[in-house]
Structure 1
C-alpha cells in the first residue's frame, strides 16, 4: 500500500478521554464513519478493522493514560483505501512486527490482521518525541463511493 493517510480526501477526527469507554465509542464511531463512506457492516474488512482499532485504543487506555489524558483516532479514506491512526501522548513507541510465537492478542494480532487485509501499519513519533500515532492503512473497495 502506497497511499499515505494525509493524501486521502475523506477525513474525520475523534478525541476521547483515555478511559475504558473510549474503546466502545471509537468502535461505534468507526462503524458510523465507514457506513458514511460507503462501507457497510457486512464488508469483509470491517470486523478485522474494528478489532485492530479496539486493540490499539485499548493499548492507549491501558498503557498511556498516565501521560495522555486523551486518545485521538484519525480517519482518512479514498476510493478504495481506509486508514486510521490512534494517537496518544505517551513517548513509548511499540514495535510493530510479525506475530510472536505463542502470543494471542496485542500488537502481534494487530500485525497479523493488518497483513491479512493486505494493509500496512506504522508507528509515527510526534515531532516533540512525547507521543506517537499508530497508523493502519488497508484496501477496502467501496470507500468514498457515492
Structure 2
C-alpha cells in the first residue's frame, strides 16, 4: 500500500458547507470519483470506505460547524490504495487508535473498527496555525 499520499495519481477536492446534506454529497462525489478512476463499486473496501467517509463528514457537521462553516474533503487513490481526508477548522483533534475502536461507542469507534479491520490507517493532521485539522483515512485496495 502506498504511504506517500502526495504521490497518489488520482485526486479530487471538494469544499462544502458544514450542513447535514454535505454527508450525501460527499458520498455521491466519492462514488463518482471511484468510477472515474476505475475502482469497482463492488470492491470489498468501497462500502466500508463510504461509511467511514459519511461518519467523518457527520462528525464535522455536528461538532465543528460553529467554528468551521465549511469543510473540505480530499479524495485520492492509486493502484493499491484509496485515501480520503475530511478537513474542518475546529481545533479539537480526536485520538485515533485501537483503543477508540475497542470502546465500541460513537462514530469514531466505527471509523477505527472499519479502518483497522481493512488493514488501513487513520491519522489526524493539525493545521499549521493549530485551528483546524484533517483526518486522513488510507485503505488498501
Structure 1 residue 2: Cα displacement: 5.1
Mapped contact 2:118–2:139 kept (Cα < 8 A): yes
Moved >3 Å (runs of 4+): none
Matched, 1:121 2:122: yes
Residue 58 (structure 2) aligns with: 58
Residue 143 (structure 1) aligns with: none
The structure with the largest helix share of the pair is 2
After TM superposition, the structure 1 = structure 2 runs for residues 15-94 of structure 1, keeping only pairs within 5 Å, are: 15-94=15-94
Mapped contact 1:97–1:108 kept (Cα < 8 A): no
Residue 135 (structure 2) aligns with: 134
Task: Report the RMSD for the aligned CA atoms in angstroms.
Answer: 1.2
CA distance in 1, matches of 2:38, 2:123: 25
Matched, 1:3 2:6: no
With the length of structure 2 as denominator, give the TM-score of the two structures: 0.94
Gaps of 5+ in 1: 141-146
With the length of structure 1 as denominator, give the TM-score of the two structures: 0.91
Mapped contact 2:2–2:81 kept (Cα < 8 A): no
Gaps of 5+ in 2: none
